[in-house]
Each structure stands twice: as C-alpha cells, then as structure tokens.
C-alpha cells in the first residue's frame, strides 16, 4: 500500500506524529487540519507541539517530501485511507462531545470512494463507530460500510513526554465492522509500525508461567507484546473498549492510591516509600502514584465516555464515578495540605505570596488540558493568596521569565507539575535563603529530608 495517498484528519498530539510517521514510511500524506494557524506553522517546516520526539519525526517527514499539511479539503481527493485524529472532549456537564468527530466525517464524506479505509483513531466510547459513525457515513455518502468502504477503529495510545513509548513503537489494537476491514486496517498499521501481527485470540496463548522459585503455581502474566505490534480485535466495539477501559483502569487505580495517600497522612506514613516497597513484589500491575489531581485529555476524560455509554445502556458504574470524584477532589485536598502547613508557620493564605509551579497536566509536556493547575490557581486566588506562576514548558500563565525571579517574595511553593528541568533547578536552589517556609509537593518529587533540614515545612500528598 506504500506510496499510496492517505489522509490524517487533525494534526494535534496524536495526528501530527502519526502523519509524520506515515510520510516517513513512504505514504503520500495529506495532513488535514482545520486550524489554519497550525497549518501555517507546519507549512514552514516547524512543529506547533513542543516534544523532541515529535519534532524529530516531523523533520524526517519534511525531508521525505511526503507530508502535505493543509486546511483545504479538496486535497483529500483520491486518498485511499482516512485516519481521524480529532479531539473527543467532554462538555461542562462531563458528557461526551462528539461534534469534532462529526465535523471530521463531514469533511471526508464527499471523498470516500470504493474500497477506501476509514479509521477512527480518536478515543470514543464503545458503540460509537457502530451506532453513530457508521449510520452517519452511510447516510452522507449513500455507500455501504463493509461493502463499498471499510470502517475501523485503532485507538491511539501514545504517551506524550514518554522517551520510550512513542507513535513509532507503541503496540496497537484494531477492530472493524468486517473481517475484510480489520485485515485492511491491520495491514496498514503493520506497514507503518513494522511490528508483528496478532489475533486477540492468540494473545492468551502467549500466557507464560511466572518464574517463581518459592511457588511455581503462583500465577501467570501476559508477556509484553513486541514493539510496534498490531493486535486484531474481534469487533470494532472491543477495540473501542480496550482504550476506554485501559484508561479507566488507570483512573481507578490512581483514585485508589490517592485514598492510600490520605490514609498515609492520618497514619503518619510515607506513601511513596510504601508504594516503592509494594512494587518489589514481583507480580501484579503498577505502581501508581498519588498526586494533586489528574488531568490531560485521556485519563480525566475517557472514563466519562465509558460511564456515559454504560449509563445509557442501563448500568451506572459506581466505582468509575467514585474514582472520578476522588481524583477530581485531589486539588482541593492538596490545597488543604497547603492551608494546614501555612497555619503551622503562622501564615494566612490571604496576602501570602505562593508560587504555583507547573501548569501542564503532567511533566515534560506542553499540554494543559484538564490540568489541576486551573482549579488550584482559582481556589488560591479566591482565598486571597498573592500568586506567582512558573511553568518551563508553557509560558502563557507565567508571572516572570525565570524560576528564580518567580520565587522572589514567595513564602510557599505549590508543585502542580514536576517538569524535570524545573525540579532539577529547584533542587539546586537555597530555598530557605530565598524565604521559602512551606513546600507542598503535589507530585511527591522532592526529598523531604533535605527541605526539612533547611527548616522548610514539607508536605507531599501522603508523605511528610
Ligand atoms: N493527547 C494524547 O495524549 C492522546 C493519547 C491517546 C489518544 N488521544 C486521543 O486522540 C484524539 C486526539 O487528541 P489530541 O490530543 O491529538 O487532540 P489535539 O487537540 O491535540 O489535536 C486535534 C486536532 O484536530 C483538529 N481538528 C478538530 N476538528 C477537526 C476537523 N473537523 N478537521 C480537521 N481537523 C480538526 C484540531 O484543530 C486539533 O489541531 C482524542 O480522541 C484523544 O482522546 C490523545
């Protein structure tokens, strides 16, 4: 299929590296992006996303001459595959917002020809392709899915900021409405990723006995799928569920360790040491770590899509809701830690200068979607704190150009995001000398002992 013309719809965190990779693998890639400003940046050969891996891949794609970013939908004519990577957010009521997905279908519908392949990469709730995308496309095109063209789902699992797992090697799953469709999609992704092809029914056969000297019957684990592998699911719904459920499993586990952190606070334990200790047990998944809030476009969003689908089908998933409530409550909990710590130092929140470190939802990315920063900032502001802000990856909210400058006059530091460069700088500073009395470490990334030795009151989430 290489040298064929394919389209990637939406050139964000997911679509840009995917389009670049396809171009590097010799496909002619039309990168269709509705935001003209992004197209302008990409057309100059630059990236609108700050990520070393994405920038390197884009540079190779530009060198190949195969990547063509555009906001002109006419360029979509004659593509043989359309990979949809548009956002799938939630609205203010936490309900799934499928408008961007529908707008992407509207864009491609006029260009769909016989035997074309449509792949939804965006994260969607189980049933979205069968119940919404399929009838919508059939009505718009007057063509039959599975007969005239194929519809597949291949959820993206990329982990921005991860040095190892990237668009180039993360194992993928695909599902489609027909056998022909799943094979076509799997072949496309194998040609892009270069890994092995599996059938999901064979994954269990790769179960291997756990190596255990003490007890050989202690259990089994699934061996790590090889880099860049593609696994064919039995249905498009199963492929949708893989993504929605794997992120929900993560959300629930994070909620659980957040609860363990609260227990650790009342029992005077160091939750990070305890988790590190638990992780020496050589089987089971994890570790997960607590923190001042869960953000991002995946973990904070996908469980809501899954919950919505289950609710509409007649089942209210209580643990998912509880996990969401727990994780949504963590910014407030971390603020209560700050309030108590300031109190111990006889400092009120009102009128005290506090530096909030980090705007991004996680370290080493320039993405602030659903970031706990916003709630923390708003609440502290409402309580009358004098706020300074610094994020080394996102400058929009920064109150000064450098970390040192930002910290001037602050009595407390509240770490929301543990960007490596920023935390390394912080570790080399004489914070006590700068007048810092309290550090609330919302990511448990600092060494409490060295701060305590400087006379600074340290509070982590579940550790002191
Ligand atoms: N960001 C992640 O880490 C990540 C990881 C795995 C999966 N996902 C999923 O991938 C999907 C995309 O996420 P993202 O982070 O890349 O979003 P993003 O906002 O970074 O990028 C989406 C892009 O699509 C463009 N767009 C919107 N509607 C369009 C249309 N009709 N036609 C053309 N372009 C359009 C937007 O302008 C934007 O540039 C979501 O479903 C998300 O849940 C994201």
Q: Are residues 221 and 255 in the same domain?
A: no
Q: Are residues 435 and 298 in the same domain?
A: yes
Whole-angstrom distance, CA of residue 464 vs CA of residue 447: 10
- For residues 399 and 387, is the Cβ–Cβ distance under 8 A? yes
- Tokens 């963590």 belong to residue: 330
Q: Are residues 249 and 368 in the same domain?
A: yes
In the structure, which protein residues have their CB atom closer than 6 angstroms to any atom of ligand 1? 9-15, 32-35, 38, 85-88, 100, 103-104, 107, 122-123, 156-158, 160, 297-298
The total domain count for the chain is 2
Which CATH number do you get for residue 174?
3.40.50.720
pLDDT of the residue at 67: 98
Q: Are residues 218 and 300 in the same domain?
A: no
Residue 243: active-site member: yes
Q: Are residues 228 and 274 in the same domain?
A: no
Q: State the sign of the Cα–Cα–Cα–Cα dihedral 43, 44, 49, 55.
A: positive
pTM: 0.84
Q: Which of 200, 234, 268 is a domain's end point?
A: 234
- For residues 174 and 230, is the Cβ–Cβ distance under 8 A? yes
Provide the residue-wise pLDDT of the chain in tens; the chain has 464 residues: 457 999 999 999 999 999 999 999 999 999 999 999 999 999 999 999 999 999 999 999 999 999 999 999 999 999 999 999 999 999 999 999 999 999 999 999 999 999 999 999 999 999 999 999 999 999 999 999 999 999 999 999 988 888 889 999 999 999 999 999 999 999 999 999 999 999 988 876 564 444 333 333 444 444 566 789 999 999 999 999 999 999 998 999 999 999 989 988 988 899 999 898 888 877 555 678 899 999 999 999 999 998 999 899 998 889 999 999 999 999 999 999 999 999 999 999 999 999 999 999 999 999 999 999 999 999 999 999 999 999 999 999 999 999 999 999 999 999 999 999 999 999 999 999 999 999 999 999 998 889 999 999 999 999 88
Of 285, 300, 281, 291, which Cα lies nearest the Cα of 257?
291
pLDDT of the residue at 445: 95
Alpha-helical runs (H) found in 65-178:
99-108, 128, 134-141
Q: Are residues 184 and 269 in the same domain?
A: no
The closest residue, in CA terms, to atom 35 on ligand 1 is 10
Q: Which of 178, 210, 234 is a domain's end point?
A: 234
pLDDT of the residue at 281: 73
- Containing 260, the helix (H) or strand (E) segment is helix 236-267
Counting from 1 in the atom list of ligand 1, the atom nearest the Cα of 159 is 3
Of 211, 201, 208, which Cα lies nearest the Cα of 232?
201
Best residue for ligand 1 mutational test, from 8, 9, 10 (most atoms within 8 Å of Cβ)? 10
Q: Are residues 213 and 109 in the same domain?
A: yes
Whole-angstrom distance, CA of residue 135 vs CA of residue 114: 17
pLDDT of the residue at 285: 58
Q: Which domain holds residue 76?
A: 5-234
Residue 79: active-site member: no
Q: Are residues 36 and 172 in the same domain?
A: yes
Asked whether the bond before 287 is cis by omega within 30 degrees of 0, the reply is yes
Ramachandran quadrant class, 364 (left: phi over 0; alpha: psi -120 to 50; beta: rest): left
Counting from 1 in the atom list of ligand 1, the atom nearest the Cα of 49 is 20
Best residue for ligand 1 mutational test, from 156, 243, 247 (most atoms within 8 Å of Cβ)? 156
Q: Are residues 353 and 421 in the same domain?
A: yes
Counting from 1 in the atom list of ligand 1, the atom nearest the Cα of 104 is 31
Q: Which of 215, 234, 253 is a domain's end point?
A: 234
Q: Are residues 225 and 371 in the same domain?
A: no
The residues near 314 (Cβ < 8 Å, ≥ 6 apart) are none
Best residue for ligand 1 mutational test, from 7, 13, 106, 305 (most atoms within 8 Å of Cβ)? 13
Q: Are residues 343 and 221 in the same domain?
A: no
Whole-angstrom distance, CA of residue 285 vs CA of residue 60: 36
The closest residue, in CA terms, to atom 21 on ligand 1 is 12
Alpha-helical runs (H) found in 268-301:
271-278
Q: Are residues 389 and 287 in the same domain?
A: yes
Rounded distance from Cα 54 to ligand 1 centre (Å)? 15
Whole-angstrom distance, CA of residue 355 vs CA of residue 335: 13
């Amino acid at each position: 299929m290489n040298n064929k013309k394919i389209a990637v719809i939406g050139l964000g965190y997911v679509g840009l590296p995917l389009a670049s990779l396809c171009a590097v693998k010799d496909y002619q890639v039309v990168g269709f992006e509705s935001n003209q400003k992004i197209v302008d940046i990409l057309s100059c050969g630059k990236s609108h996303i700050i990520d070393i891996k994405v920038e390197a891949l884009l540079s190779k794609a530009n060198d190949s001459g195969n990547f063509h970013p555009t906001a002109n939908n006419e360029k979509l004519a004659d593509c043989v595959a359309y990979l949809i990577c548009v956002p799938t957010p939630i609205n203010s009521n936490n309900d799934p917002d499928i408008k961007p997905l529908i707008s992407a279908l509207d864009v491609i519908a006029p260009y769909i020809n016989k035997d074309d392949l449509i792949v939804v990469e965006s994260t969607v709730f189980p049933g979205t392709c069968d119940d919404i995308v399929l009838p919508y496309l059939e009505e718009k095109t007057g063509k039959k899915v599975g007969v005239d063209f194929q519809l597949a789902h291949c959820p993206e699992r990329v982990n921005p900021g991860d040095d190892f797992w990237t668009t180039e090697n993360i194992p993928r799953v695909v599902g489609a409405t027909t056998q022909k469709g799943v094979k076509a999609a799997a072949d496309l992704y194998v040609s892009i990723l270069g890994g092995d092809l599996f059938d999901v029914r064979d994954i269990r056969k790769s179960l291997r006995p756990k190596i255990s000297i003490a007890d050989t019957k202690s259990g089994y684990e699934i061996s790590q799928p090889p880099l860049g592998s593609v696994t064919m699911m039995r249905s498009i719904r199963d492929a949708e569920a893989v993504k929605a459920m794997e992120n929900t499993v993560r959300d629930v586990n994070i909620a659980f360790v957040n609860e363990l952190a609260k227990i650790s606070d009342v029992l005077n334990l160091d939750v990070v040491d305890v988790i590190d200790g638990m992780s020496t047990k050589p089987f089971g998944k994890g570790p997960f770590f607590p923190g001042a809030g869960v953000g991002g476009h995946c973990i904070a969003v996908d469980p809501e899509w899954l919950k919505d689908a289950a609710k509409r089908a007649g089942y209210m998933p209580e643990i998912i809701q509880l996990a969401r409530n727990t994780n949504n409550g963590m910014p407030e909990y971390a603020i209560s830690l700050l309030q108590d710590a300031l109190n111990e130092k006889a400092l009120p929140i009102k009128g005290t200068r506090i530096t909030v470190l980090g705007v991004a939802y996680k370290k080493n990315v320039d993405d602030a979607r659903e970031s706990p920063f916003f709630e923390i900032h708003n609440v502290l502001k409402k309580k009358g704190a004098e706020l300074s802000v610094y994020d080394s990856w996102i400058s929009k909210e920064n109150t000064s150009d450098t970390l040192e400058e930002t910290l001037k006059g602050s009595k407390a530091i509240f770490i929301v995001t543990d960007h490596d460069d920023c935390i390394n700088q912080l570790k080399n500073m004489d914070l006590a000398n700068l007048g810092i009395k309290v550090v609330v470490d919302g990511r448990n990334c600092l060494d409490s002992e060295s701060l305590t030795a400087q006379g600074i009151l340290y509070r982590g989430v579940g550790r002191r």
